[in-house]
Amino acid sequence: MQVAIGSDHGGFRLKTEIINYLKEQGIDYHDFGTYSTDSVDYPDFARAVAEAVAAGKFERGILCCGTGIGVSIAANKVAGIRAALCHDTFSARMAGEHNMANIITLGERVIGTGLARDIVAAWLNAKFAGGRHTQRLEKIAAMERDACFR
């Protein structure tokens, strides 16, 4: 598995901790930035990660900002992306099992590093349940194709 990861300045420290976790687990990743706590605009990094995941260059993506909200909104503007804001392990597992979320977003100012590691593990280990959830994802994909949602 290859994971795209990115953050703005508000999520930089959390992103660094998650990268350490990915390294410990032997998971390949690419860091799309930012590379410091200097102020930057989160949509730039959310877009880079989301487009890389949508293009199939990476199986999954992780985005961090101060709350996780901004990067979630931005990433979900890219067709084919199902970014889920997760601040607990249950939501992370359900994002994988029911929503087949290909990106999770986390907030550095909301959760600690230990919980963030647990959330990432729950999401990475979740297996899509299929069944009725497949039909729902097909409806979301149809919304993306509908001109009124562009």
Annotated binding residues for D-ribulose 5-phosphate, written as ranges, equal 8-9, 66-70, 99, 109, 132, 136
**Binding positions:** 8-9, 66-70, 99, 109, 132, 136
Q: Does the active-site annotation cover 65?
A: yes
CA atoms within 13 Å, Cβ hemisphere of 117:
11
Which of 30, 64, 86, 98 is labelled catalytic? 98
Give rounded-to-5 percent helix, strand, coil for the chain: 50, 15, 35
Which of 65, 87, 133, 148 is labelled catalytic? 65
Q: Does the active-site annotation cover 133?
A: no
Neighbours of 88 (CB within 10 A): 13
Q: Report d(CA 71, CA 74) in Å as an integer.
A: 5
Angle at 83 between CA 81 and CA 87, to 5 degrees: 170
Q: Report d(CA 42, CA 8) in Å as an integer.
A: 5
Paired strand residues for 17: none
* Active site residue ranges: 65, 98
